[in-house]
Amino acid sequence: MTYNVPSRPGQDIPPDVIKTVAKSPNFARVKECVGHDRVEQYTSNGVVVWSGNDHQCHDSRWFYGATGVISVTSNLVPGLMKELMFGGKNTSLNSKLQPLVEWLFCEPNPIGLNTALAQLGVVRPVFRLPNVPLP
């Protein structure tokens, strides 16, 4: 899977590059974090796309053709995310999950996720600087 997450390296993989790489028999899919337009552009050209944006994943799946999501939120509520992505259009569930998604991403990943997992007792509250737990 090719990951296009411009917020991490500070660079976007241009659509022309994905289009070229997608011709390779070794190319399987792309995780796309630019947004719905890019998801739709790729899916309309036969490229298998997984959303990389938790806050957009429902619409990317049901309105723009994404296959699924590579998700941070699914680490906390896997059953709900599975339902959101594979149980049919569900704007109500999507709306209910948005406050959690917003909280998880109020600081760069993985701060929110690690804070939540520590609060649940799943992991020890160990953070390496400069990361610190959310209040």
| Token code pair at residue 130 | 């400069």
End-to-end C-alpha distance for the chain, whole angstroms: 35
Domains of the chain, residue spans = 2-88
H-helix or E-strand spanning residue 38: helix 36-43
Q: What percent of the chain has pLDDT over 70?
A: 100
Give the pLDDT of residue 94: 99
Give the pLDDT of residue 135: 84
Q: What is the mean pLDDT of residues 47-61?
A: 98
Q: Give the up-direction half-sphere exposure of residue 66: CA atoms within 13 A in the CB hemisphere.
A: 30
Catalytically active residues are 3, 31
Give the pLDDT of residue 31: 98
Burial of 2 from C-beta contacts in 10 A (0-12 / 13-18 / 19+): middle
Residue 14 has pLDDT above 90, yes or no: yes
Give the pLDDT of residue 73: 98
Q: What is residue 62's three-state secondary structure?
A: helix
| Token code pair at residue 29 | 């899919």
Per DSSP, 56 falls in state T
Phi, psi of 51 (to 5 degrees): -70, 145
pTM of the predicted model, to two decimals? 0.90
